[in-house]
Chain A
């Protein structure tokens, strides 16, 4: 009996160590970023480093927001572009997915498979002509230029996710509403969309993160400082100031806050979106 207790205790202990190791690997880089951002600047550049801040201060954040780089503006740009991408993607994707899931028409299968195939299209393959197209359309250095580019890279996944969502909602509900005198559009608006709200939320979050986190297109399609996204802003920061980790770590913390919040609040939808995207895609 005693031996069994001991063995069980040993297993529990091993499990605890395992959990600790996993959490350490996943979270230590965060800890280092956030704790560094709260250290006094001269402590960040102390060698050897301090593993726990000797005092907590917000001076790095104050410096970040008051000094040279236009950080608040970058943040605003990213928020506008990511929200715009979400709205536009939802409109396009809901329309297309609704057609694919509710109508039988010639070209349904090849078209929806065509969307699927573009999911892994490497951005670098189209980067140069895309830059030229966007410039020719007069959308270089504009929100719209980035929004429609992100739209295209978000659409395949969004359409595929929403086809699945719509197909899980019985057609009969809409048909009943139409019998009761609704138009098809009203039936969609009043019945199908509310019932798909959690699926639509999953798509929205996924698209928001994609647009918020994207770097290369934002770098290629903008040049004016006032049009930079937060990712381009941070990267140029890194180039310009090299090791100004006091500013970089506070900027990194602020940049991560929206995605971390979104992730924790909508985790179930997010995981669902990610899985469906990967498995279907």
Chain B
């Protein structure tokens, strides 16, 4: 009997163990390795990989491209997040009104979000093509431009163009989150506000917004992190070009590691990325904690 109970106590560990093992093997172990590599002089063909302390960090942070790449990453993540929010919030608020067919529209709006990133990154270059793209054609017909614009090849328009593609593929997530948030606001609050003489704008300002603020904060952090980590769109559309004008941190890690075989420096960049993301996630977890209370 006692033996039997002893085994029973081990059951939950047995059930959790396979997941823990693969997580350690595929996530934790490589992460420890990344940290280790970042402290070593490690290029692909070096058989001897001496410990060099923080030399890799110093080297990448002094590199002329570091500031540019970091700025690109922040710009790409921030503007993507902001425009996704503006679009997602307006669409969700608009469709929350009693409009015939709102439910169908709400589900059609989610479609861009389920599209594979690679497909998004092949549609957009075609839409923006200077020769046979509809965007240039429309702008020309409307007389807004005289010459077609090479959106993805021009140093001034490349970043806004890849951000547009990212906004298109990411705004539906905001619609989803904000809609869920709106549905959680009790109708009585609006009725009470209306009785107190609040007009539509005041109802929005003093009832809707305060109730949405938590969900907006959470979604903002999530969408910032997702864009920050997203490598696919830029990788396929511009490869970081023209020159380095759309090169972001994940892309730089890929290039340094897999093309230039600077494993040590790429790992240092990865650690820097990790610290940055960890701070963002930490602030995010603190927000959800507050929600539970």
A→B interface (CB under 8 Å): 15, 18-19, 22-23, 25-27, 29-30, 32-33, 36, 44-49, 51, 92-93, 95-96, 98-100, 102-103, 105, 107-108, 111, 115, 117-118, 120-133, 148-149, 151-152, 155, 159, 209, 212-213, 215-216, 220, 231, 234-235, 238, 243, 245, 248-249, 252, 255-256, 259-260, 263-264, 267, 270-271, 274-275, 278-279, 281
CB-CB contacts below 8 Å: B110-138 with A: 110-112, 114-127, 129, 131-134, 137
Q: Indicate if the CB atoms of A260 and B111 lie closer than 8 Å.
A: yes
Residue B7 at the chain A interface, CB threshold 8 Å: no
Q: Which of A18, A95, A99, A152 contacts B26 (CB 8 A)?
A: A152
Say yes or no: A32 contacts B222, CB within 8 Å: no
Beyond the given pairs A27-B108, A103-B15, 7 more chain A to chain B contacts, judged by CB atoms under 8 angstroms and listed by A's residue number, are A33-B119, A95-B19, A128-B253, A155-B22, A213-B115, A263-B111, A274-B176
Would you give 16 A-B contacts (Cβ < 8 Å), ordered by A? A15-B99, A26-B112, A30-B123, A95-B18, A100-B12, A100-B16, A111-B20, A122-B229, A122-B250, A125-B34, A212-B116, A216-B231, A235-B121, A238-B125, A260-B114, A263-B111
Which B residues are closer than 8 A to A by beta carbons?
9, 11-13, 15-16, 18-20, 22-23, 25-27, 29-31, 33-34, 37, 87, 91, 94-95, 97, 99, 101, 105, 107-112, 114-127, 129, 131-134, 137, 140, 168, 172-173, 176-177, 180, 218-219, 222, 225, 228-229, 231-232, 235-236, 249-250, 253-254, 257-258, 263, 266-267, 270-271, 273-274, 277, 281, 284, 288
Among A30, A103, A149, A235, point to the contact of B12 (Cβ < 8 A): A103
Note all chain A residues with C-beta closer than 8 A to B115.
213, 256, 259
Partner of A29, one of B99, B123, B231, B277: B123
Determine whether the beta carbon of B37 is less than 8 Å from that of A19.
Answer: no
Interface of B is mostly: helix
Known: A111-B16, A152-B22. A231 touches B110 (CB 8 A): no
Report the nearest A residue to B261, measured CB to CB.
A128
A133's nearest neighbour on chain B, judged by CB, is B30
Residues on the B chain within 8 Å of A121, using CB? 27, 31
| Bound Cα distance from A153 to B83, whole angstroms | 27
Residues of B within 8 A of A212 (CB): 116
Q: Is the CB of B253 within 8 A of A130?
A: no
Q: Return the chain B residue nearest A118 by Cβ.
A: B27
Q: Select from chain A the residue with minimum beta-carbon distance to B32.
A: A129
The residue in chain B whose Cβ has the minimal distance to the Cβ of A96 is: B19
A102 to B12, CA, bound (A): 9
Given known A32-B127, A105-B13, A278-B219, contact A128–B22 (CB-CB < 8 A)? no
Q: Is the CB of B180 within 8 A of A275?
A: yes
Q: How far is the CA of A152 from the CA of B22 in the complex (A)?
A: 7
- A235 pairs with B114, CB closer than 8 A: no
Q: Considering the complex, give the chain A residue whose CB is closest to the CB of B122.
A: A248
- Measured CA separation A187–B15 after assembly (Å): 16
Given contacts A47-B132, A212-B116, contact A120 B225 (CB under 8 A): yes
Q: By the criterion CB–CB under 8 Å, are A22 and B105 in contact? A: yes
Q: Are A209 and B30 in contact (CB under 8 A)?
A: no
A196 smallest CB distance to B (angstroms): 16
| Chain B hits for A46, CB < 8 A | 132
Residues of A with C-beta under 8 A to B11: 99, 103
CA distance A111 to B249 in the complex (A): 31
Residue pair B111, A148 in contact (C-beta under 8 Å): no
Measured CA separation A48–B141 after assembly (Å): 10
A155 to B212, CA, bound (A): 29
Given the complex of chains A and B, what is the CA–CA distance between A213 and B120 in angstroms?
Answer: 11
Q: For B137, give its contact among A49, A123, A149, A234 (CB under 8 Å).
A: A49
Q: Are A22 and B109 in contact (CB under 8 A)?
A: yes
Chain B proximity of A94: nearest CB distance (Å): 9
Contacts of A243 in B (CB 8 A): 129
On whether the beta carbons of A124 and B250 are closer than 8 Å, the reply is yes
Complex contacts, B137 vs chain A, CB 8 Å: 48-49
Q: Which residue of A lies closest to B250 (CB)?
A: A124
| Least CB distance, B192 to chain A, in whole angstroms | 24
| Cβ-closest chain B residue relative to A48 | B137
Q: Contacts of B235 on A, CB cut-off 8 Å?
A: 215-216, 235
> Would A128 and B173 be within 8 Å (CB), given that A216-B235, A220-B258 are in contact?
no
In the complex, A220 Cα to B232 Cα: how many Å? 12
